[in-house]
């Protein structure tokens, strides 16, 4: 049932009105509930649903394949190994054929029923409509705090306007998808890439639901942290500028400390004990230096990845595509 084709290749079949891209990993219990609501929401439309699957140790692939046999508008990409959610999302965008495309997670925290209000907004002359969260049910205060701080930090440091309180759940026109295909970056931070592409963008607010079942395997703390770092480093050089400013301030502070000790020598009185101050200054400056080296390393690492030009993902199988 697999058909080899290049991304974006036109077939004899007419393009669907809407493509739905769903990155998945270890979601065997969530596939059918998701499809039940998604198919009901899209019943009046011509659509395709593309599952971008990181190889899972459970029955996720088997369940999707069973659903493909039931509904030929369901399709699947299976990768050669686990490449992560950003790569899975970009792969779906590369292979989608719809006039417009929605990116959504399978956990039903983002309601499929919101697609229609998003399409209505898109029809008002926009090229991107993203879903902005008013509230987050089922999340701990710590996770909400981290998300709030992370979004604020990314928005304040980024050179492009990355919206706050918005995930990957959004709808895009075909020309936005084509521009995303041209970028060809190794680190696919979708929110930043869509902001970089530009065009007219708007949002629809909603209250995010709790996860329908099971436990998420994509957006854990380390994964969210990695995506957040990609958002900052991939779209701004301000952290490097900030390190330069901190370095200048530390040099100035060191000059003042030296002047203070010189003053004590000149008056012949030891007003401060030397050893604790020396230890504190050395420890603090060492921490700043290591932080600066780590930050530079993040940028150098991304340069290294881009220079190698390795593909963001490798596809093992295409089912119904």
Domain check: are 121 and 264 in the same one?
A: no
Domain check: are 183 and 67 in the same one?
A: yes
Q: What count of residues does the chain have?
A: 321
Domain check: are 63 and 146 in the same one?
A: yes
Domain check: are 133 and 281 in the same one?
A: no
Residue 318 lies inside a defined structural domain of this protein? no
pLDDT at 4: 38
Domain membership of residue 140 as a residue range: 18-236
Residue 33 lies inside a defined structural domain of this protein? yes
Q: 199 φ, ψ to 5°?
A: 65, 180
Q: Can you list the pairs that 161-166 forms with residues at least 24 positions away whose Cβ atoms lie under 8 Å?
A: 161/195, 162/191, 162/192, 162/195, 162/231, 162/235, 163/130, 163/132, 163/191, 163/195, 163/201, 163/203, 164/132, 165/132, 165/133, 165/134, 166/130, 166/131, 166/132, 166/133, 166/191, 166/203
Domain check: are 93 and 177 in the same one?
A: yes
pLDDT at 161: 65
Residue 1 lies inside a defined structural domain of this protein? no
The tally of domains found in the chain comes to 2
pLDDT at 9: 45
Domain check: are 140 and 27 in the same one?
A: yes
In the three-class reduction of DSSP (H, G, I as helix; E, B as strand; rest coil), residue 31 is classed as helix
Domain check: are 189 and 58 in the same one?
A: yes
Residue 187 lies inside a defined structural domain of this protein? yes
pLDDT at 77: 92
Surface-to-core class of residue 220, CB atoms within 10 Å of its CB (0-12 exposed, 13-18 middle, 19+ buried): exposed
Condensed to tens digits (0 to 9), the pLDDT of residues 104-135 reads: 988 888 888 888 888 888 888 899 898 888 77
pLDDT at 50: 93
Q: Could you identify the residue written with the tokens 């099971």?
A: 214
pLDDT at 280: 63
Domain check: are 132 and 246 in the same one?
A: no
Select from 195, 219, 236 the last residue of a domain: 236
Q: Which of 184, 307, 167, 158 is nearest to 237 (CA)?
A: 158
Query: ∠109-111-114 over CA atoms, to 5°?
Result: 145
8: left (phi over 0), alpha (psi -120 to 50) or beta: left
pLDDT beneath 70, residues of the chain: 1-13, 136-162, 186-188, 210-241, 244, 251, 254, 257-258, 261, 264, 268-281, 283-284, 287, 304-306, 308
CATH number at residue 132: 3.90.550.10
Compute the distance between CA of residue 173 and CA of residue 119 in angstroms, rounded to an integer: 10
Domain check: are 126 and 194 in the same one?
A: yes
CA 152 to chain centre: 15
DSSP 38: H
Q: What's the Rg (C-alpha) of the chain?
A: 24
* Confidence (pTM): 0.68
């Amino acid at each position: 049932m697999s058909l080899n084709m290049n991304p974006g290749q036109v077939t004899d079949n007419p393009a669907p009105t809407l493509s739905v891209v769903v990155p998945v990993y270890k979601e065997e219990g969530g596939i059918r509930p998701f499809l039940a609501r998604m198919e009901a929401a899209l019943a009046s439309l011509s659509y395709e649903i593309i599952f971008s699957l990181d190889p899972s140790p459970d029955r996720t692939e088997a369940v999707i394949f069973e659903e493909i046999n039931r509904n030929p508008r369901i399709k699947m990409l299976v990768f050669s190994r686990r490449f992560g959610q950003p790569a899975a999302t970009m792969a779906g965008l590369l292979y989608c054929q719809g006039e417009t495309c929605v990116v959504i997670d399978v956990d039903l925290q983002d309601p499929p029923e919101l697609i229609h209000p998003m399409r209505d907004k898109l029809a008002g002359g926009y090229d991107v409509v993203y879903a902005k969260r008013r509230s987050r049910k089922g999340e701990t205060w710590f996770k909400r705090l981290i998300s709030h701080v992370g979004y604020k930090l990314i928005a304040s440091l980024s050179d492009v306007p990355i919206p706050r309180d918005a995930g990957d759940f959004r709808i895009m026109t075909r020309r936005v998808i084509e521009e995303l295909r041209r970028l060809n970056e190794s680190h696919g931070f979708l929110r930043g890439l869509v902001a970089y592409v530009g065009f007219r963008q708007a949002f629809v607010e909603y209250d995010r639901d709790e996860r329908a079942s099971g436990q998420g395997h994509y957006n854990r703390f380390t994964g969210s942290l990695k995506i957040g770092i990609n958002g900052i480093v991939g779209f701004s050089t301000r952290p490097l500028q900030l390190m330069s400013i901190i370095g200048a301030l530390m040099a100035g502070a060191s000059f003042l400390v030296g002047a203070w000790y010189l003053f004590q020598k000149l008056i012949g009185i030891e007003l401060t004990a030397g050893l604790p101050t020396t230890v504190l200054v050395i420890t603090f400056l060492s921490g700043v230096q290591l932080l600066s080296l780590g930050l530079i390393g993040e940028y150098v690492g991304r340069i290294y990845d881009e220079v190698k030009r390795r593909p963001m993902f490798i596809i093992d199988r295409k089912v119904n595509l």
